[in-house]
Amino acid sequence: MSFVERIIGPRVCPAEQAKNNLRYGTPGFLILIARVLLLISLFMPYWHMDLHAPQYPDNLQLTAYLNHLDGDVVEIDGLNHYIGMRPLGEAAQIERQVGVYAMIGFVLLLEMVGFIHTRWAVLLVLPPLLFPAVFLIDLHLWMSHFGMNLDPDAPLSNSVDPFAPPILGTGLIGQFKTVAVPGVGLIMATAASFVLLLSLYFHRRAYKPLAQSEP
């Protein structure tokens, strides 16, 4: 058996495929669902924060997509300037530049999974499966970096101690309150991760017996 054959695994003959269509079709169907969820998530917000400030009775809102920020960015940057926090646009610049391309890459990886009938399929599934967690970790690191490294020369630098804004839930920063929630896009990507876990189970159940039966 060649190296390529060991990677892609055994092929299923048409007769066997027709006889056990549900068995062999379920992994691919689940992966299709995950791909659709990830593609739709491209156009949806991944994270949202409401900033409750006394001078803004309607609150300020910040929404993060994979490739841009939306909402009251200018106003929030203005408030952050007084406590010495850098503009939000300076955070995660590389991530926003490559986010859409990375997601498209994930979808292409999942397309390839249909041709891999061995445990190596896990390597193709891992990047999109772990993406929601990586997104939140990256967001937390950036928010903590900005909050813990305030400009000491800012006008109100002495009024606020360095802080790590919570990326989910409620946080208090001086006289301000933040309420952060996952966006629809992140929820869809997380749902895709659970679907991918399920697909790996059915993938293993379908193709492992074939691999074991080969000489």
Contact 201, 4 (CB under 8 A): no
Q: Domain spans of the chain?
A: 21-209
- The span from the first CA to the last CA of the chain, in angstroms, equals 9
The pTM for the full model equals: 0.91
Helix (H, G, I), strand (E, B) or coil at 30: helix
Per-residue pLDDT of the chain (215 residues; tens, 9 = 90+): 566 667 777 767 777 777 778 888 899 999 999 999 999 999 999 999 999 988 888 999 999 999 999 999 999 999 899 889 999 999 999 999 999 999 999 999 999 998 888 888 999 999 999 999 999 999 999 999 999 999 989 888 788 888 888 999 999 887 889 999 999 999 999 999 999 999 999 999 888 877 666 55
DSSP string, 35-77: HHHHHHHTTS-SEEEEEEETTEEEEEEEEE-SS-EEESHHHHH
Tokens of 120: 């190596």
φ and ψ of 53, to 5 deg: -125, 140
Tokens of 132: 């929601």
Question: Which residue reads 């300076």 in tokens?
Answer: 90
* C-alpha closest to that of 106 among 39, 200, 182: 39
